[in-house]
A and B are shown apart, each in its own frame.
Chain A
Amino acid sequence: MKTLRALGLLIALAVGAACGGEDPAGPPGTLQRGLSSDPETLDQHKARSIQAADVIRDLGEGLVGYSATGELIPAAAERWEVSKDGLKYTFYLREGLRWSNGEALTADHFVAGMRRLVDPSTAAFYAAMLADLENAAGITSGDIPVSMLGVEAPDDRTVVLRLVQQTPYLVSLLTHPSTFPIHPETLAEHGDGFARPGKLVSNGAYTLDAWVPGSAISLKRNEHYWNNAATAIDAVNYHVMVQDNSELNRYRAGELHVTSTVPPDSFAQIRKDYGEQLRVAPYLGVVYFGYNLTKPPFKDNAALRQALSMAVDREQIALRVTGRGEAPAYSWVPQGVNNYEPPLSGFAALGKEEREQVARRLYKEAGYGPDKPLRIELRYNTNDTNRKIAVAVQSMWREILGVEATLVNEEFQVLLANMKDAEITQVFRSSWTGDYNDAHTFLSVLQSGSAANMPRYTSEEFDSLMALAARQVDLEQRKLYLEEAERVMLADYPVIPLYFFVSKHLVSPQIEGWGDNVLDYHYSQQLSFKAAQ
């Protein structure tokens, strides 16, 4: 009898516990968006993931922002001026800016925010966003006090930035959430835990209403936002959906209006079934195979590197393996970057047959052949698309050159550690997405000494061209130097660029205002529901 009673108790407990369903679906008119992973924090200075940035962009606002189609537009600042030598930027804030608690938003809130970003005790990941400000480097290494940062607020509505070198893309840097202002009293009161519902004070179109970790984030309209009248949607729910198939199911069931991505395997079917709801646009990111240039067989063997690169059929990969409209990559910097025309790899103009012939010749020149095949390891991190690409490339190398590549599937953290060590890696799969819309964010990766330079590429010519470009105030000149630098780099074949990312979303026909842009920024405040017929 005791067992039966215990059983009954168990059931009652379970059912009773279940009846408290708390996360609200939100009133009709709430935008339901998918988010591909749970943000690690909503503190704009400590955040580093793209997903955190997406949500923070709805909560906060910087001096400048982007339009739906990716143009720079004034945001908290209504206009700005640049000095002739390019070292001083003056931003004029709008009148009547307020925080979500009604208090006035003033210029020194921006100053406080930027200081916190470079402060070593914040340990902010994106502190380098402001690396070109005066004294920034010294502050981050702890030698100079934070108050010496080259930013100041001469009055309540003016923010002045002073740089140590010209940074033509500075204004686009200021769209990044890490440069958003901070409300000092909130920070003082709640410390590191200020970015939580009920505590966070925000200056953007929405406030933080609720956050169920690992599940959903709810935002509500910020009545005090300066442009609140233009915000059409009252509430936004971000649903954390790590599995893209589960997210697709929810979209198909009508539970989501916007998805964060589209699963690669059902892509062709989705394109057929959903037509215009599928939004695919070029995205600032490149997927590549990197060579470990510090060790044989790829060290000092440009011919071999070129051979392997030429033997990869990028069109096939982009068309059949990834198949979502990705563009095959013959350069390092993607198309569509501001003020830049990427040069193409030498062999881009050749036909497939010719490429294979040249590849075979180079392979022999490098000292390999059927009786002496190249044996290498190709590493990639656990992911279905990566797996398929690796298998496809392995197959291509085998058939065209006779290379015997072993595939090593590693979990992301393991691969990362191995790439950084550069001891056992030979060829590895990696990718790079731009933080801002300028070629610099891509090219700087391959500079000597860059911590992100996984292949460990070093070229004096490349480095000096990059340094020359950095000194140019004239944008046209700068463009030429950067393009030349890329040309030099491509001719060395330190990497095998495979394809450029595309952003892919399913957007419900009920939603208006969605713009495709190369940074994949989609502010909720720019969206609206179509008026009912």
Chain B
Amino acid sequence: MLRYTLLRILGAIPTLLLVIALAFLMVHAAPGGPFDDERVLPADIEANIQAHYHLDEPLPQQFLRYLSGLLRGDLGPSYRYHGRSVGSLIGEAFPYSLQLGAMAMALALVIGIGAGTAAALRQGTVFDKVVMGFAMTGISIPVFVIAPALVLLLAVKLQWLPAGWSGVTGMSRYVLPVTTLALPQIAYIARLTRASMMDVLSRDFIRTAYAQGLGTATVVRVHAMKPAMLPVLSYMGPAIAAILTGSVVVEQIFAIPGLGESFVRGALNRDYTLVLGIVVFYASLIVFLNLLVDILYGAIDPRVRYR
């Protein structure tokens, strides 16, 4: 197990390097720089700024400078937010994205698995069709439509929930963003669970369990749930990536200062270091999480060990 883990981590390093190089090139390839604006700088002041941030050096040199900084754990200064380091910016923004993402994932799992299981148990009935129908709305309407619609209805008209994020105390400000972020995943997980549960429930060992006189609840909980969860577990990787993508939109709409929102802002502002820092951070995070999922998978299903 340990060897497997180490090998996986080692294998990820060249890819990470490739990722960083690619991102570096793309950001620098974009026309415009972090200090450009319509209010144009007089030439000598611009030269001062460029020198201050090493932007006048040749690209390969800038890249190496960045890499050596990375090795020291230094992600560099933000080009846009004077006096702030990328590390501190990411450190402040990440908890918001984490909170949002974790809650959305949790919600999606609870509702998705619950709905999917319930639908599987009542396969073919009206209940099944209705539940699945609801689930499908999550993947057929884009987030940037659902979110404003919900805000309009629940926050502005009915005033049941806050319309914004900053300055609002308590849990209520999480309800709308987390729900909108979770909706597409609820749909996928419900569908996956339903299909998988239906498959598991039709197997022999389940029939045996029923024959032994066990009630539905027990059968599902004790015998069916674990094997049925395998496809859901494999979906976790893409699910996390999808929540990441969705968070970009949700954070913008609700003005939540998370990493997704920071990234878009950084890309549009040509804040090179911030953008690179976020890419490196997320890539490393996802590698780690995938590894975690693999280990969990191995722990659950004794048939799967190393590949």
Contacts and interface: CB of A to CB of B under 8 A. Distances in A.
A46 B82 contact: yes
> How many B residues touch the partner, as a band?
35 or more
B100 to A, nearest CB: 9
B193 interface: no
A361 B89 CA distance: 59
B280 interface: no
A172 B276 CA distance: 41
A423 to B, nearest CB: 11
B198 interface: no
Q: Is the interface of A mostly helix, strand, loop or mixed?
A: mixed
The listed residue with most B CB atoms (<10 A of its CB), out of A6, A40, A252, is A40
Given A6-B296, A120-B44, A24 B169 contact: yes
A417 B32 CA distance: 5
Interface in A424-469: 430-432, 435, 451-452
Contact of A414 (B30, B102, B165, B262): B30
B109 interface: yes
Given A25-B169, A32-B167, A255-B167, A214 B48 contact: no
Contacts of A142: 44
Contacts of A121: 48
B255 A239 contact: yes
Contact of B32 (A10, A48, A414): A414
B39 A452 contact: yes
Interface stretch (A12-20, A367-375, A485-493): A12-20
Interface stretch (B4-12, B129-137, B150-158, B208-216): B150-158
B167 A452 contact: no
A389 interface: no
Given A3-B226, A25-B168, A128 B270 contact: no
Q: Is the interface of B mostly helix, strand, loop or mixed?
A: helix
B93 A214 contact: yes
Given A25-B167, A253-B155, A243 B253 contact: yes
Interface in B105-149: 105-106, 109-110, 148
B36 interface: yes
Interface in B69-95: 80-84, 89, 92-93, 95
B257 A125 contact: no
A250 B169 contact: no
A142 B40 CA distance: 20
A417 B102 contact: no
A339 interface: no
B37 A48 contact: yes
Interface of A: 2-3, 6-7, 10-11, 13-15, 17-19, 21, 23-26, 32, 38, 40-41, 43, 46, 48, 120-121, 123-125, 127-128, 140-142, 191-193, 195-196, 212-216, 237, 239-243, 245-246, 249-250, 252-256, 411-414, 416-418, 420, 430-432, 435, 451-452
Given A3-B229, A6-B296, 17 more contacts: A3-B296, A13-B102, A23-B167, A32-B167, A38-B257, A125-B45, A193-B84, A213-B84, A237-B167, A240-B255, A246-B255, A249-B148, A255-B162, A412-B268, A413-B36, A452-B38, A452-B40
Interface of B: 30-33, 36-45, 48-49, 52, 80-84, 89, 92-93, 95, 98-99, 102-103, 105-106, 109-110, 148, 151-152, 155-156, 159, 162-171, 173-174, 226, 229, 233, 252-257, 261-262, 265, 268-270, 296, 299-300
- Top 3 nearest A-B pairs (CB, nearest first) are A413-B32, A214-B257, A14-B102
